[in-house]
Amino acid sequence: MTSVVFVVPAMYADHHVVEVRRILHDVPGVRAVYASSAFGVVEIEFDAEYTSAEVLERRLDEAG
């Protein structure tokens, strides 16, 4: 299992957390998503055989 942490300053409210979790859980290989609007960070645990940090970062960027 691999993990990555992204700083997401635009995630400042709870409804952003819900949307980020939904978007990332749709990615094959994602096992867990911990998101905090208070700290503006997202930690993702994933299986590197199915996805990568680059793919996850791109999904976050596409979401805005």
- Kindly report, residue by residue over 22-56, the tens digit of the pLDDT: 999 999 999 999 999 999 999 999 999 999 999 99
Return the CATH fold of 2-63.
Alpha-Beta Plaits (3.30.70)
Among 23, 18, 24, smallest CA distance to 4 is for 24
Q: Does the pLDDT at position 64 exceed 90?
A: no
User: In the chain, where are the structural domains located?
Assistant: 2-63
| pTM of the model as a whole | 0.89
Residue 12 has pLDDT above 90, yes or no: no
Q: What are phi and psi of 30, to 5 degrees?
A: -75, 125
Is the CB of residue 30 less than 8 Å from the CB of residue 46? Answer: yes
pLDDT > 90? residue 5: yes
Write down the pLDDT at residue 10: 86
Q: Is 1 exposed, middle or buried (0-12, 13-18, 19+ CB in 10 A)?
A: exposed
